[in-house]
Amino acid sequence: FEVFKTKVYDASHFSLPFVQEEESEEEPKLKYERLSNGVTEILQKDAASCMTVHDKFLALGTHYGKVYLLDVQGNITQKFDVSPVKINQISLDESGEHMGVCSEDGKVQVFGLYSGEEFHETFDCPIKIIAVHPHFVRSSCKQFVTGGKKLLLFERSWMNRWKSVVLHEGEGNIRSVKWRGHLIAWANNMGVKIFDIISKQRITNVPRDDISLRPDMYPCSLCWKDNVTLIIGWGTSVKICSVKERHASEMRDLPSRYVEIVSQFETEFYVSGLAPLCDQLVVLSYVKEISEKTEREYCARPRLDIIQPLSETCEEISSDALTVRGFQENECRDYHLEYSEGESLFYIVSPRDVVVAKERDQDDHIDWLLEKKKYEEALMAAEISQKNIKRHKILDIGLAYINHLVERGDYDIAARKCQKILGKNAALWEYEVYKFKEIGQLKAISPYLPRGDPVLKPLIYEMILHEFLESDYEGFATLIREWPGDLYNNSVIVQAVRDHLKKDSQNKTLLKTLAELYTYDKNYGNALEIYLTLRHKDVFQLIHKHNLFSSIKDKIVLLMDFDSEYLHKLFKRDHHKGQRYHEKQISLYAEYDRPNLLPFLRDSTHCPLEKALEICQQRNFVEETVYLLSRMGNSRSALKMIMEELHDVDKAIEFAKEQDDGELWEDLILYSIDKPPFITGLLNNIGTHVDPILLIHRIKEGMEIPNLRDSLVKILQDYNLQILLREGCKKILVADSLSLLKKMHRTQMKGVLVDEENICESCLSPILPSDAAKPFSVVVFHCRHMFHKECLPMPSMNSAAQFCNICSAKNRGPGSAILEMKK
């Protein structure tokens, strides 16, 4: 093959593998197959001239005047000898029961495939086109058009006679026609016309752009996308036309419909065929290129492009150059593009070849991803579309992904993927473990081995433990901690650890791991001995969990040596346990761990406060003393200590805020009044708790206060902020009140259902009389209580309003009557 920038497909193979200039990362949109079987036999002796496609079968016309009916695999089902010369066009109705054929010698036949011939005539000129009515099967739609030098409409009359009408003539040969619904589109030498079969009017004329091209060598391609959208391809021009209804006010003597060109653009090559694909177009192009060697023009491989039409241009989605048989000798008029609307199948027809293009399905997408070694994406695509894929299995893709990762050396990723891919398949897990063993990567897969469902053979786990024991004691210890002991033979692993301890008897990691193995084996004595030897803190958990207190009576002092934070941890776990030691803990914290003393005093509810205060005062612990004084209710002494001992105005202010006591603020102001830095701190922080005027009035005249201006500005800003907040709250309150009032009003305006199940709240008899004909009067309050009017007490002289007796008695507020029913 010659190499092109576009992908080049070799149509000489059934699956049409393609050759390309460089590895493309863009996935193809279509896949190709040659139509073989009977078609291969036909084209060995004859040449294809035209073809039409039905959802159920294909009809192929040849240069030797034969018409073949084929199934979708290309097998011949019927053969018709129509003419000794070229078949120009074949047309089928939508039912696939009637076919029209025209040939170069002027013969026209329209006949039923299952009901016999209906029309047969020979004209004195070549008939280039034919189109039967899409609903020809109906008796009211027995119409078809033919085209040679003029366009004729044939219609069968009520006496089964055919009559013809000239729709158009005088502009050269009719070379293309497409019938959709009530509209017939055709092309002659001058342009494209559309005829409305209902109104009997020609509604448009779309002139061709490039009049330099011979219309017989570069014929027009027509395609109806739907009942009102016509696509025209001629030369290098493509136009998309929309048939629209004309407004009644615009009609006058004009047709009831008109055509608007909604998109128009130029292509790189000559258009040989068009087909719609959703909102995109499939374009078959005839390509001519210049030889670099001879500098002469030659016929290149035809291209099948998918393009996205825009208003004045188009965007290329994909482009494939096809190596069809005999492309070197073909002309633009030798190629045709036919399509099956139901299945999105596209048939590229040339004299020596018929190639089928179809949209790639999810299996094809996965094939491409696997070919590009994009296993992660392939696996994801298979999982998303598992109900639609037919040729692939998720497990097979996953195993291929694992193998690919292993080959690439990504052992950890491969091992991690095993969890998702292998799932609960124990046999596959064991197979993969042995594969990892062969490449010396058992450590990589160990964190991901299943530990519950499924459970692998004990030998698998023991094999991995032995691998770690030989080279990584810490990793071995981690696995022993993480893996349940019933996964492997415990005695085997114990013996292996003891063998290693013979070489390194003081290895703490191995000793601790051995203790854990003994613990699982319920050999608590040996485990306790190892923990005591190691002076390890886990001994407490072992003693508590397995009730080994009788074994440690003579080792209490030793155990306390192990963990000097014992009481502290006990308190952290439960503030109430060990409360009898809280008094002792005060002195211990004060002596050895002051940072934890204040948190202890705050959290403990059992420590004696007087004793704690005495200890803190003896050691001059100011913060702790302040806390204890405030907790004992002596806030003024605590504040005085903050000011006199710590000299920290911020802490004093914070303390006053916490206590929220006016007398404390007074003491703080009196203490600060002769200390300018304290005054500054108060001015900056007092605004939201105490009226700043009380402080400002007491400042002596002439006293220099640092940053006084900034402090006063802040006071004003705080005041403005408070005003804004109050105004905002007021607005919200008013809005909420109004909203609730409206809601209450809407609720009270609603009707109340009164039926035979309701009772009078006074006499407890049904609210409605049993005899609907009798007159009655009922009062219903907003609270939904109901009364017979005669059962209500008369309203007082002071107020004419009536209130619900029940709600008034329960102090829920009076409910005025909302409805009085009378009959």
Segment 63-72, tens digit of pLDDT: 999 999 999 9
Kind and range of the H or E run holding 281: strand 280-286
Residues in CB range of 289: below 8 A, 6 or more apart: 297, 298, 300
**DSSP assignment letter at 97:** S
Comparison of pLDDT for 394 and 547, the residue scoring more: 394
Kind and range of the H or E run holding 400: helix 394-408
Structure-block tokens of residue 475: 């990793």
State residue 552's pLDDT score. 53
Answering whether pTM is above 0.85, one says no
Confidence at 306, pLDDT banded by 50, 70, 90: very high
Structural domains of the chain in order of their starting residue, each with its CATH number: 361-456 (1.25.40), 753-808 (no CATH)
State residue 641's pLDDT score. 75
CB 78 within 8 A of CB 68: yes
State residue 470's pLDDT score. 84
Residues in CB range of 43: below 8 A, 6 or more apart: 325, 351, 352, 353, 354
Give me the long-range contacts of 241-248 (CB less than 8 A, separation at least 24). Answer: 241/194, 241/204, 241/206, 243/183, 243/194, 243/203, 243/204
pLDDT of 559 > 60? The answer is: no
Whole-number Cα distances in Å, 285 to 10, 192, 223, 316, 766: 17, 20, 15, 13, 88
pLDDT of 769 > 50? The answer is: yes
Kind and range of the H or E run holding 467: helix 458-471
Structure-block tokens of residue 677: 């830095």
Q: Among 416-420, 601-605, 671-675, name the one with the lowest average pLDDT.
A: 671-675
Give me the residue label for tokens 């009085």. 820
**DSSP assignment letter at 806:** H
Confidence at 20, pLDDT banded by 50, 70, 90: very low
State residue 1's pLDDT score. 29
CB 82 within 8 A of CB 65: yes
CB 134 within 8 A of CB 142: no
Q: What integer is the mean pLDDT of 569-594?
A: 68
Q: Among 51-60, 141-150, 555-564, name the one with the lowest average pLDDT.
A: 555-564
Confidence at 75, pLDDT banded by 50, 70, 90: very high
DSSP per-residue letters across 426-456: HHHHHHHHHHHHHTT-HHHHGGGS-SSSS--
Q: What integer is the mean pLDDT of 494-508?
A: 81
Q: What integer is the mean pLDDT of 763-773?
A: 84
Whole-number Cα distances in Å, 84 to 48, 60, 65, 216: 14, 15, 5, 22
Task: Report how far residue 598's alpha carbon sits from residue 627's, in angstroms, rounded to the nearest whole number.
Answer: 8
- Compute how many other C-beta atoms are within 10 angstroms of the C-beta atom of residue 388: 10
pLDDT of 739 > 60? The answer is: yes
Q: What integer is the mean pLDDT of 664-674?
A: 68
Q: What integer is the mean pLDDT of 584-599?
A: 74
State residue 558's pLDDT score. 52
CB 322 within 8 A of CB 350: no
Confidence at 579, pLDDT banded by 50, 70, 90: low
Task: Report how far residue 523's alpha carbon sits from residue 515's, in angstroms, rounded to the nearest whole number.
Answer: 9
338-380 confidence digits (pLDDT tens): 998 878 899 999 999 999 999 888 998 998 999 888 888 888 8
Confidence at 580, pLDDT banded by 50, 70, 90: low
pLDDT of 34 > 50? The answer is: yes
Q: Among 48-62, 222-236, 589-603, 742-756, name the one with the lowest average pLDDT.
A: 589-603
State residue 231's pLDDT score. 95
State residue 18's pLDDT score. 40
Task: Report how far residue 522's alpha carbon sits from residue 462's, in angstroms, rounded to the nearest whole number.
Answer: 20
Structure-block tokens of residue 415: 């091992």
Structure-block tokens of residue 84: 């000794």
Comparison of pLDDT for 694 and 305, the residue scoring more: 305
pLDDT of 91 > 70? The answer is: yes
Parallel, antiparallel or unpaired: strands 201-207 and 221-226: unpaired
Task: Report how far residue 335's alpha carbon sits from residue 381's, in angstroms, rounded to the nearest whole number.
Answer: 37
Give me the residue label for tokens 């008034």. 808
Q: What integer is the mean pLDDT of 730-735?
A: 91
Q: What integer is the mean pLDDT of 594-601?
A: 75
Among the listed residues 178, 233, 180, 236, the one whose alpha carbon sits nearest the alpha carbon of residue 206: 233
Residues in CB range of 511: below 8 A, 6 or more apart: 501, 530, 533, 534
State residue 610's pLDDT score. 78
146-179 confidence digits (pLDDT tens): 998 999 999 988 777 889 999 999 888 998 999 9
Among the listed residues 430, 294, 280, 270, the one whose alpha carbon sits nearest the alpha carbon of residue 344: 280
223-282 confidence digits (pLDDT tens): 999 999 999 999 999 999 999 988 877 777 788 889 999 999 999 899 999 999 988 999
pLDDT of 714 > 60? The answer is: yes
Q: What integer is the mean pLDDT of 684-699?
A: 62
Task: Report how far residue 242's alpha carbon sits from residue 230's, in angstroms, rounded to the nearest whole number.
Answer: 6
State residue 389's pLDDT score. 85
Among the listed residues 114, 115, 111, the one whose alpha carbon sits nearest the alpha carbon of residue 100: 111
Parallel, antiparallel or unpaired: strands 786-788 and 229-234: unpaired
